[in-house]
Amino acid sequence: MQNLPRKIALTLLMAALTGAAAPVLAAGDGGPFAREITARQSLMRLYTFNIGTLVGMAKGEIAYDADTAGTAAANLAALAALNQQGMWPEGSDSFDNDGTRALPEIWDDLAGFEAKRKGLADAAAAYAGQAGTGLDALRVGLGAVGGACGACHKAFRKPE
Amino acid sequence: MQNLPRKIALTLLMAALTGAAAPVLAAGDGGPFAREITARQSLMRLYTFNIGTLVGMAKGEIAYDADTAGTAAANLAALAALNQQGMWPEGSDSFDNDGTRALPEIWDDLAGFEAKRKGLADAAAAYAGQAGTGLDALRVGLGAVGGACGACHKAFRKPE
């Protein structure tokens, strides 16, 4: 009983953080791994947001700006370096869950999956030092980052 | 014309990165700022994912583990330190867009908004050094982080 006020306070805190915790936590497909699937899809969307800026510059659709390019690449590197603990629980695959394209092969080859994750983290870290140095460097480095994305998707993501 | 092959290559790259770029980029409410609104909501969901682990430990629903706690807090600090360039274009507020609770007050007081953002970044950075040092420290520090979240929500987020 003596923990009750603390528990109420923390429940209120969680609600304050999220507005209403449940809808945010239960986004995704609403299944047992909705929280984890939402988190990893959110991470992918933040990758995409920053890569979209860089691709836009590479294609000439957005004017090249060294600060903006460098910041997008630094954000990408920071995101790719996040520890993804808790995001990939066994059972949260595309075979058993709607709303995810994470193939069961991930859990059959966790070392291979980790190697691909590290491949992106390393490519993004290198790119963070390149994208702000000029448009040619931005374009060249994007190939390595895109290769790292694609290597993981090819092996571990269900085609649409 | 000579840029065409490059543009095609980059379009294919973007598709490879995202599976099919359009659905990811056009998530959110589908309006003119869907890309930006999706990005900032993705960031909030990653905050929530990590805070959820910490709140779970604080409430005793998840067993305290120093490594897990420290990693969640470090992730939160890294996320809060991201440069949010491009995520808050003028006009992407709750008055003019469905699917966002970002009040127009943000753009009336950008300095105040930035101060709240920095408040969370600072609180999360401090917390990253505390959460892994024990359950009491995890609980105490959570109050400061929650206060920083709530301060911004109270001023700049539309109530549900």
pLDDT, tens digit, for every residue of A119-131? 999 999 999 999 9
Q: What is the mean pLDDT of chain A?
A: 89
Taking contacts as CB-CB distances below 8 angstroms, the residues of chain A near B74 are 83
Distance CA(A20)–CA(A67), nearest Å, equals: 36
Kindly indicate the confidence band of residue A4, based on its pLDDT and cuts at 50, 70 and 90.
Answer: low
Q: What's the whole-model pTM score?
A: 0.88
pLDDT, tens digit, for every residue of B27-58? 455 799 999 999 999 999 999 999 999 999 99
Answer whether B72 touches A (CB < 8 Å): yes
Taking contacts as CB-CB distances below 8 angstroms, the residues of chain A near B44 are 18, 24
pLDDT, tens digit, for every residue of A24-36? 444 455 799 999 9
Which A residues, 2 through 31, put their C-beta within 8 Å of a C-beta on chain B?
3, 6-7, 10-11, 13-14, 16-21, 24-25, 27
Residue B109 is given by DSSP the state: -
Query: Taking the domains of chain B in order of start, what are their residue ranges?
Result: 1-30, 33-156
ipTM: 0.88
Kindly indicate the confidence band of residue B7, based on its pLDDT and cuts at 50, 70 and 90.
Answer: low
Question: Do residues B46 and A69 make contact, with C-beta atoms less than 8 angstroms apart?
Answer: no
Query: Measured between alpha carbons, how far apart are the two ends of chain A, in Å?
Result: 51
By CB neighbour count within 10 A (0-12 exposed, 13-18 middle, 19+ buried), where does A108 fall? exposed
Mean pLDDT over A100-118 rounds to: 98
DSSP labels, A23-70: HHHT-TTSSTTHHHHHHHHHHHHHHHHHHHHHHHHHTTSS---HHHHH
Q: How many CB atoms lie within 10 A of CB A34?
A: 18
Answer yes or no: is pLDDT of A49 > 70. Answer: yes
Question: Do residues A51 and A77 make contact, with C-beta atoms less than 8 angstroms apart?
Answer: no
More confident residue, A15 or A26: A15
Between chains, do B142 and A75 touch, taking CB under 8 Å as contact?
no
Question: Do residues B42 and A49 make contact, with C-beta atoms less than 8 angstroms apart?
Answer: yes
Between chains, do A59 and B20 touch, taking CB under 8 Å as contact?
no
pLDDT, tens digit, for every residue of B61-103? 999 999 999 999 999 999 999 999 999 999 999 999 999 999 9
Q: Which CATH class is domain A31-156?
A: mainly alpha
Taking contacts as CB-CB distances below 8 angstroms, the residues of chain A near B70 are none
CA angle at A52 for the pair A35 and B39, rounded to the nearest 5°: 35
Task: Write down the CATH superfamily of domain B33-156.
Answer: Cytochrome c/b562 (1.20.120.10)
More confident residue, A8 or B146: B146
Phi-psi region of B75 (alpha: psi -120 to 50; beta: other; left: phi over 0): alpha
